Structure 1
Amino acid sequence: MNNLAIGKKLSLVIAIQLALVSQVSAADKDSNTAADSDKTSVNDSYIEKMQIIGHDARLSKQTGSATLIDELELEQFKFDDINRVLYSVPGVNIREEDGYGLRPNIGFRGATPERSKKINIMEDGVLIGPAPYSAASAYYFPMTSKMTAIEVFKGPAAIKYGPNTVAGSLNMVTRAVPQSSEGLIDVSAGSDGFAKAHGYYGNTIDNFGFLIEGVHMRADGFKELDGGGDTGFEKNDIMAKLRYDLAGDSFDQVFELKLAYADETSDETYLGLTDDDFAANPNRRYVASQLDNMDWQHTQVQFNHFITGDNFDVTTRVYRNDFDRAWYKINGFKQFDNTYESLQEILANPDKNEDTRAFYNILTGSQDSVTEAQKLILGNNDRTYYSQGIQSDLNLQLELFGLEHQFATGVRFHQDQIERNHTTDVYLMQQANLVSDGSDTKASTTDREKTDAWSVYLQDTISISALDITAGVRGEFIDAHYQNRAPGEELNYLNKTTRIWLPSFSAFYTLSDNAGLLFGVHEGFLPTSPKQDPSIDVESSINYELGGRYNDGNFNLELIGFFNDISNLKEGCQFSSCGSDDDTEFNGGEVDILGLELTSGYSISLTDDIDLPMSLSYTYTQSEFKTSFESGFDMWGNVTAGDELPYLPENQLAVNLGLVSDQWDVNMIVRYIGEMKEASGEGVVLSGSTTEALTVVDMSASYNFNQYGLVYVKADNLFDTQEIVSRRPYGARPSKPQQFQVGYQYRF
């Protein structure tokens, strides 16, 4: 399909949207509503459109496992780590990394969690990853503390939120401009030098509203660097919103401008420990990581326009995100050939021979570098990203041929880019300190990947008595370009195109006001990056789900079984998984993923003033390669049919208990994550290795002094249980230890 044909299709979609809006507008010209009630209505509707999951009915008729974590729930534990928020969501699989959630690894329904690259990560309905098409790994992640809602959606509705339709979407909703004067001051301090300051103020005067919000967070870190030094982080996030409500005779409108800036400096490393050193002290850090540091800045501009009438609304978003990052970190030892082991091999077996023992001693600072091979290579992965685009979504309710239809259609033009300017330096270990050997900094990777992507979706829900049938399709039309920018390599470039249509079908049958059954099937898709050889195929699958819901307002239950029939699995090497910055991708052929998601909640009134809310979330997942093959991918190796996927626990469970009154509350969450394989097959360093099962208890309590504010205390990992959460890329890395925190909130 050529660009002209694509343009015609997209023009047709836009024309249909405009025509429908014009028809509805003309029909509504004679309607008159008071301006004040219009303003409230349009603002409420606009806020709803920033979200995926609605609040219209007690029994949700959405297909797929839709989970909304609202502001009230987020306030219960006051988590600042997205991982801890999502552990209670069924079907979510996570590989922890730094303990604070600085760079999450999140997957849905068995999709690899590596750098959250297989899910759509959105903020206020807009793709927020640094370069979602060109370099999907999410090295930037929005600050959880400023969110008022977190939404997870899996299943057929994934076609509305591409490009990745294999797993689902994560949408984070920032604070809306308030309708009246409103503000907050939230300060807290805790273990390991943790401190947070969070505040906002907003108001609406006549038709004009504004909001200013800022968050500062820091910690000294819980890891103990040999010889002393920083292992913590410092983050800042500032956001401003300007909104104007315009009520009219035919339709109402909202105009909103959002501006945001965020930065982080963190003394984080990829270097872990040997298993023996982990057993002795899981929070130890070798001196070889003393210079490791991540430094990034992120800016965002987003303009939203929302227009609504009696039976339609159109939301248009224009956005631009810029992200600059430099991660200076240990890469390995200087090598002239393949006779020396990688850092992963050294830490997996430091006593293999004299060379590995010497390398290990150098990492710990107990031995100085002597030979050229014993010099250390530190790399600066300096990258510049941008992501920009315009998208418009139309929702329309009307009656055709005696049936109720809910149309949803949208079109988006998106462009993103990554430029790599990676360099390396050579260091000696001298008296437990890294000292430059005096050689010049060398360029290692200098390239650019860029993507232009048009996408369009159309979805229609037809109501026939108790049955709601939804059929839809998504189109992705991707033009990708790779350019090697190193001197003398300018002719090394690649242009690729991808054209694909992704169908979807789902149904919901209402058994009663409180219960219903659901079924869905949709095609999963994951594009390859621009630099990958065309021989690497996109990921493709057919995904099924079947389940039911019950909700009577006090007790709710949702049980969904899913089956992902993957015809071609695609994975890639990042530094976080393989210790390599070449981002090479691999195909793994056919894979089956089978699972069950259960979530339930119930609230008991103990007295007139005290309630006991309870909730449970359980996920069971099985995976299986259907063919045998040999792979150069570190997480696969030599796979035999029947082998499981790595970093996918079979069982996950979260139980939440609370005691809640009008003035105080106490909450506890117990979560269990089963063991996970670190490599699927044989022949790679971590073959046969697994992470241990982990049970963690988090608690929080708060007391409201009314006009004097609210005091809260919280404990993450109350019983201080730590296990190895991963041995990638270089050695064993721990879960977060026990941490206490006390804070104060004042609302005005």
Structure 2
Amino acid sequence: MTKGFMMKRSVLAMAVALAAPQVLANDDAKNDDMEHIQILSHYDKLRTEAGSATLLSEEQLAEFEYDDIHRILSSVPGVNIREEDGYGLRPNIGFRGVTPERSKKITIMEDGVLIGPAPYSAPAAYYFPVTTRMTAVEVFKGPAAIKHGPQSVAGALNLVTRAVPEFSEGAIDLATGSDGYSKAHAYFGSVVNNVGFLLEGVNLQADGFKDLDGGADTGFEKNDLLAKFNYKLQQGEFEHTFGLKLSYADELSNETYLGLTDADFDATPYRRYAASQPDNMDTKHTQVMFSHHLKFQDVSLTSRVYRNDYERAWLKLDGLTNTDATLSEILANPEDEQYQRLYQVISGTADSIADSGRPNYLSMGTNDREYFSQGIQVDGSAKFKLAGFDNTLSFGVRFHEDEIERKHFKETYGMRDGSAFNLGLDKVYTSQNTENTQAWSVYLEDKVTIDALTLGLGVRGELMDMAYQNNANADDWQNKTTRIWLPGMSGFYQLSEDSGILFGVHQGFSPASPQQSVDIEIEKSTNYEFGGRFNDGVTQLEVVSFFNDYSNLKESCGQSNCGALEVGREFNGGEAHVYGLEAQFSQRYPLNLQIDIPYGFVYTYTKGEFKNDRYTNFAQWGHVKSGDELPYLPEHQASFNIGVSAPDWRVSLAVKYVGSMSEAAGRSWDSSTDANAPNGSYNLVLEGKEVSAITTVDLSAVYELGKYGQVYAKVDNLLDETKIVSRRPYGARPGKPRQFTLGYKYSF
């Protein structure tokens, strides 16, 4: 069996980025990644770098042909996810216990450059790249994330696009499936007169798996276009590569924040209420990036200038008029007398105008926002000897600016005979503000090898100037400055040719938003990890324990987790502890000379709890007490992959288990009954609610047609599990039901 074949099935291929990542098949192969962005994929020998870093290669990504980043990350330990729409259009991803809400507590990059709409000013990732065009996915946790920020408590996620090829090559990928699913993906690249180029395009769409009252599409359509160009120049010992990257993406999705009551979910889990008929998301994203890579002997330097623009308008139900009840309260208590009629309007069984009393119209909010992020980034590395020891110095500096401009408004719709319609009244503008951040980031890390010990010492600095302006009130503004330095240390001690132990400690932090008062502290933690690795070329095993000690846990409100009136508000959670264990194992068993059985197992244990008593108005906390568990954090997660692989065909099975998790951490509180509470009260709507444990099974198969390409088939959610995956934003929500897909690939 070939080395490439072994790597194809390795669930534990790991990586540490020296700059921004790309895939290198093995250490001894010629460095043919045209963009000079390297990852070391040690599939046949022991990795000696410290820190937790996981690489999912192009072959692994193709195994199940996932379009959903949630499913892709199910084979990575230490990842906690809250599902929402079933397709992964709005990912909610966390690492090592941080809130998964809109992936705002992890650093998200594409080709090593920040890709979130406004990573500092408004880190909620409403834009996420199309994963089907990625050739690798990387996850960095612990000290391995010291090079990436601003979110450094949990770690970083990097998505790697296709490199410009050295020779002419291309491919097409066409697929169709249930619920109107279709995929059309193609690329072509070549080199002409020493100028390399790559053109790539993707169209994804589906009719949706939910049944909207009154009919209509509940699906989406996404387009993604990419163009890359590069030019190589050799000047003596200096190697230059100049690059240009252009990308465009858009999305139209009939998605909603509105879920179901528990009773309606039990009866018809894929129903959507009539009040969500107008809901629609419309987005556009563009990127321009210039890059230059310089290599001279053992010194490497990569410079980038980038600009991202993103605009979105999401029309969706915010609430009802003439009531103070929130949608969450209504759907949690539909039988209560005060909520019964409101529920009937939402579900379309009652009209907005009642026989008596004030009408309950639909308040439809369009969260219209424009973002930009831009910057200059330089990353470098140098190898040298000092006092007889081998050193590898990594360094980087980035100036980054990002901004969000909110132009939110509401329109009034009516409900009549089960149909929602616009009353034609004037728009009412709500949030009109701008948040801007200018930030300098620097990092420096030196790794020195002393006999069997590789020791790394590093520091990261984040120097931020933030500004907030209420565009409806010139006197409502705020400027603030944050300067923070985050040290880290990591190490690896090689016990034998096949095994070693790793350890590390680093400080992590998450910035507060520009508009928050000085009462809101930055989120800061001291993070520890300890573990070991084994790799004899056949069996791979890694076990890592971690402990994150928060001096302050911080949360922020978006409409998806708090409601329209709380957008932008932040809360201090005080001291908290998150600790756990990550384990992964992979092996392949040769059944005979033609057939192999590759298999792997990943397990994550995570425990997160508050270490103080605190009264808050945050929708997931309320009144928390020391020992209360963090919400949306399953204690146990596991995945098991097994396949049967022959030269011309492959069948793979993936089983994913996610344990139960609470929807809220604390309890409601009222100063009239609790002498220790501050004045006022707070009703924690989802108090005591939890998401049940769920097991999903995915199946895929591939058959090679030789020079005519390959056909593939897959079934997501083979057992058709139907359970509540979340009760946020408003009401119970299902995961994706069983979906069949049939596809064809051809490469040339």
2:364 matched residue in structure 1: 378
- The alignment's TM-score, normalised by the length of structure 1, stands at 0.92
Map of 1:26 onto structure 2: none
Q: Distance in 1 between matches of 2:499 and 2:224?
A: 42
CA gap 1:476/1:54 in 2 versus in 1, 3 angstroms: farther
Structure-2 separation of matches of 1:416 and 1:544? 31
Q: Distance in 1 between matches of 2:50 and 2:615?
A: 38
Establish whether residue 654 from structure 1 lines up as the match of residue 639 from structure 2.
yes
Whether 1:623 and 2:601 are equivalent positions in the alignment is no
The amino acid that maps onto 1:660 is S
Taking the aligned partners of 2:346 and 2:715, their CA distance within structure 1 comes to 34
1:286 is matched with 273
What is the aligned partner in structure 1 of residue 695 from structure 2? 695
Q: Are 1:234 and 2:218 counterparts?
A: no
Determine the structure 2 residue equivalent to 1:331: 318
Residue aligning to 2:598: 613
Q: What secondary structure, in the 3-state scheme, does the structure 2 residue paired with 1:83 have?
A: helix
1:341 aligns with one of 325, 328, 332:
325
More deviation, 340-349/363-372: 363-372
The C-alpha deviation readout for 1:197-250, integer Å capped at 9, x for no partner, is: 000000123522110000001000000001101100000000000011112212
Q: Which runs of 5+ in 1 are unaligned?
A: 1-39
Paired with 1:199 and 1:58, the residues of 2 have a C-alpha distance of: 35
Aligned partners of 1:138 and 1:66: how far apart in 2?
22
Q: In the alignment, is the contact (CA less than 8 A) between 1:679 and 1:689 conserved in 2?
A: yes
- Superposition deviation, residue 253 in structure 1: 1.3
Aligned counterpart in structure 1 of residue 91 of structure 2, from 90, 101, 104: 104
Question: Residues 41 and 601 from structure 1, CA distance in 2 versus in 1: closer, same or farther, beyond 3 angstroms?
Answer: closer
Q: Is the counterpart of residue 576 in structure 1 residue 560 in structure 2?
A: yes
Aligned to 2:344: 361
Q: Offset of 1:55 from its aligned partner?
A: 4.7
Match in the other structure for 1:314 = 301
* Range with greater deviation from structure 2 (264-273 or 433-442): 433-442
* Equivalent-residue separation in structure 1 for 2:424 and 2:384 (angstroms): 73
Q: Secondary structure at the match of 2:265?
A: helix
**Shift of the alpha carbon at 1:376?**
1.2
Aligned to 2:12: none
Pairing 1:635–2:620 present = yes
- Letter of the 2:367 counterpart: N
Cα distance in 2, alignment partners of residues 206 and 600 from structure 1: 47
Displacement of 1:591: 0.3
How far apart are the structure 1 equivalents of 2:359 and 2:408?
22
2:630 is aligned with 1:645: yes
Residues 243-282 of structure 1: matches in 2 within 5 Å?
Answer: 243-282=230-269
Q: Deviations over 1:89-130 (max 9, x none)?
A: 000000001000101000000010000001000000000000
1:119 aligns with 2:106: yes
**Residue aligning to 1:600:** 585
CA contact (8 A) 1:329 1:379 kept: yes
Distance 1:597 1:649 in 2: 13
Which residue type is aligned with residue 358 of structure 1?
R
2:77 to 90, 112, 116: 90
Provide the rounded CA distance (Å) in 1 between the counterparts of 2:627 and 2:592. Answer: 53
Runs of 4+ in 1 over 6 A off after TM superposition: none
Partner SS for 2:594: coil
Say which structure is richer in helix: 1
Q: Is the 8 A contact 1:43 1:254 kept in 2?
A: no
Aligned partner of 1:35 in structure 2 is none
Distance in 2, matches of 1:504 and 1:184, equals: 43
Contact 2:35–2:163 (CA<8 Å) still a contact in 1?
A: no
In structure 2, what residue type is equivalent to 1:160?
K
Question: What one-letter code is carried by the residue in structure 2 that aligns with 1:61?
Answer: T
Name the counterpart of 1:37: none
Between the aligned partners of 1:552 and 1:253, the Cα distance in structure 2 is 38
Structure 2 CA distance, aligned partners of 1:400 and 1:471? 15
- Aligned residues: percent identity? 55
d(CA) in 1 for partners of 2:455 and 2:47?
A: 14
Aligned-partner residue type, residue 435 of structure 1? F
Match of 1:476 in 2: 462
C-alpha contact 2:44 2:536 (8 A) present in aligned 1: no
8 Å contact from structure 1 (residues 63, 155) kept in 2: no
Quick one: distance in 1 between partners of 2:172 and 2:725?
Answer: 35
Residue in 2 aligned with 1:585? 570
Indicate whether 1:558 and 2:533 are aligned.
no
Corresponding letter in the other structure for 1:290: Q
Query: Residues 206 and 439 of structure 1: is their aligned pair in 2 closer, same or farther, counting only changes over 3 Å?
Result: closer
Corresponding residue to 1:456 among 442, 446, 467: 442
What is the RMSD of the two structures over their aligned residues, measured on CA atoms?
A: 1.3
| SS class of match (1:282) | coil
Among 162, 165, 190, the alignment partner of 2:149 is 162
Q: Deviations over 1:75-98 (max 9, x none)?
A: 110101100000110000000010
Q: CA deviation at 1:740?
A: 0.2
Secondary structure of the 1:133 match is coil
Deviations 1:694-747 (A, max 9, x none): 000001001001111100000000010021111012100001110000000011
Most deviating of 161-170 and 428-437? 428-437
* Partner residue, 2:187: 200
For 1:397, what is the secondary structure of its paired residue? Answer: strand
In 2: Cα distance, 1:55 partner to 1:577 partner:
41
Which residue, out of 522, 529, 546, partners 1:545? 529
Partners of 1:113 and 1:364 lie apart in 2 by 29
Rounded Cα–Cα distance in structure 2 between residues aligned with 1:350 and 1:636:
23
**Equivalent residue runs for 1:665-704 within 5 Å:** 665-683=650-668, 684-704=684-704
Q: Is the 8 A contact 2:34 2:163 kept in 1?
A: no
Change over 3 Å in CA distance of 1:240–1:302 after alignment to 2: same
Task: Say how many residue pairs are matched.
Answer: 701
> 2:52 touches 2:143 (CA, 8 Å); kept in 1?
no
Taking the aligned partners of 1:333 and 1:372, their CA distance within structure 2 comes to 11
The residue type equivalent to 2:37 in the other structure is E
Aligned partners of 1:203 and 1:47: how far apart in 2? 17
3-state DSSP of counterpart to 1:374: coil
Question: How far, CA to CA, are the matches of 1:541 and 1:65 in structure 2?
Answer: 17
Q: Would you say the 8 A contact 2:49–2:454 is kept in 1?
A: no
1:284 is aligned with what amino acid? R
Structure 1 CA distance for aligned equivalents of residues 251 and 570 of structure 2: 29
1:440 aligned to 408, 421, 426, which one? 426
The reply to whether residue 711 of structure 1 matches residue 711 of structure 2 is yes
The one-character-per-residue Cα deviations of 1:629-676 (angstroms, maximum 9, x if unpaired) are 111000001111110000000000000001111111000000000011
1:62: Cα distance to partner?
Answer: 2.5
d(CA) in 2 for partners of 1:552, 1:576: 47
Which digits, 9 at most, give the CA deviation of each residue in 1:507-547, with x for residues without a partner? Answer: 10011121110000000100011011121000000000000
Partner of 2:728 in structure 1? 728
Q: CA deviation at 1:47?
A: 4.1
Residues 42, 252 of structure 1: 8 Å contact kept:
no
- Paired with 1:530 and 1:615, the residues of 2 have a C-alpha distance of 44
Residue deviations 1:12-69, cap 9 Å, x none? xxxxxxxxxxxxxxxxxxxxxxxxxxxx9564374434x5x65597222222221100
Please tell me whether the aligned partners of residues 347 and 731 of structure 1 are also in contact (alpha carbons under 8 angstroms).
Answer: yes
Deviation at 1:310, TM superposition (A): 1.7
433-442 or 77-86: which moved more? Answer: 433-442
Residue 439 of structure 1, CA deviation = 2.1
Corresponding residue for residue 507 of structure 1:
491
The match for 2:519 among 535, 538, 544 is 535
Alignment of 1:203-214 (within 5 A): 203-214=190-201
Counterpart contact for 1:118–1:167, Cα < 8 Å: yes
Q: Which amino acid is the alignment partner of residue 140 of structure 2?
A: F
Aligned counterpart, 2:394: 408
AA partner of residue 261 (structure 1)? Y
Contact 1:460/1:470 (8 A) holds in 2: yes
Q: 2:417 aligns with which of 401, 425, 431?
A: 431
